Amino acid sequence: MRISNLLCVGALAATILGCSPGLAATPHVRDGSHDFDFFYGSWVLRCQRLKSPVDTSHDWVKFDATDEARPLPGGLGNEDFARSSYPTKGFVGMTLRLYDRATGLWRLYWIDTKSSHGDAGTPNVGRWQGNVGTFDARITYDGKPAIDRYTWTRLGNRSKIAAHFQESLSFDGGKTWKIFYFNDVIRAPSKGIAH
């Protein structure tokens, strides 16, 4: 009688504590909602981009941009606005980053004055692992299926360059990548940046 009572108590305790072999544990999702906090503020972007068409070009253009990033209210994510004179005078690009707390995934939407035409398009989706964030989107480039990848690398507060960003394309399902844009993120002088 005592052994059966102990077995019942043990089974009840295991169920209460979530140790029952029949119950699957809920996977833990790392809180990545602050992954882009390092980017808040004003920046100078030292940029390089392949001339069009990027899938066959080997000629790089160098230019600078200014950027300002800030959080969205309520922990929804963040946004930043980049301004440059390339590819056209008065060019403005915006990234809207939305965070899903349930999955730990970020969705990054790029919008600009040259090619967006009122449509935010397909987001690049991914997450950070350590100091590297990888965000992919399946797209069509010049009639061909491709994967567009954003890669962010945080370099730390002690570095003159706080972060590095690059965008690359793969036409073979991710086996090989062609980088066609990258920038170094440098803290803007405290006096501000003229636009």
Residue boundaries of the structural domains of the chain: 33-187
pLDDT (0 to 100) of residue 37: 96
Instruction: Please give the Cα distance from 192 to 91 (Å, whole number).
Output: 19
Q: Sign of the C-alpha dihedral, residues 38, 41, 44, 49? A: positive
Decide if pLDDT at 14 tops 90: no
The least confident of 54-58, 67-71, 102-106 is 54-58
Quick: pLDDT tens for 99-157. Answer: 999 999 999 999 999 999 889 999 999 999 999 999 999 999 999 999 999 999 999 87
* Structure letter (DSSP) for residue 58: -
Q: Tell me the pLDDT band of 189, cut-offs 50, 70 and 90.
A: confident
DSSP class per residue in 36-56: TGGG-EEEEEEEEEEPSSTTT
The total of other beta-carbon atoms located within 10 Å of residue 18's CB is 10
Q: Using alpha carbons, list the distances in angstroms from residue 13 to 6, 27, 49, 130.
A: 10, 21, 61, 37
* 33-53 per-residue burial string, b: 16 or more CB within 10 A, e: under 16: bebbebbeeebbbbbebbeee
Rg over alpha carbons for the chain, rounded to the nearest Å, is: 23
Question: CATH class for domain 33-187?
Answer: mainly beta
Instruction: Please give the Cα distance from 97 to 88 (Å, whole number).
Output: 25
> Under DSSP, is residue 85 helix (H, G, I), strand (E, B) or coil?
coil
- Tell me if 163 sits within 8 A of 183, measured CB to CB: no
Quick: pLDDT tens for 16-35. Answer: 344 444 445 557 889 999 99
Q: Tell me the pLDDT band of 90, cut-offs 50, 70 and 90.
A: very high
User: E strands along the chain, which residues?
Assistant: 41-50, 60-71, 77-84, 91-100, 105-112, 124-129, 132-141, 144-154, 161-170, 178-187
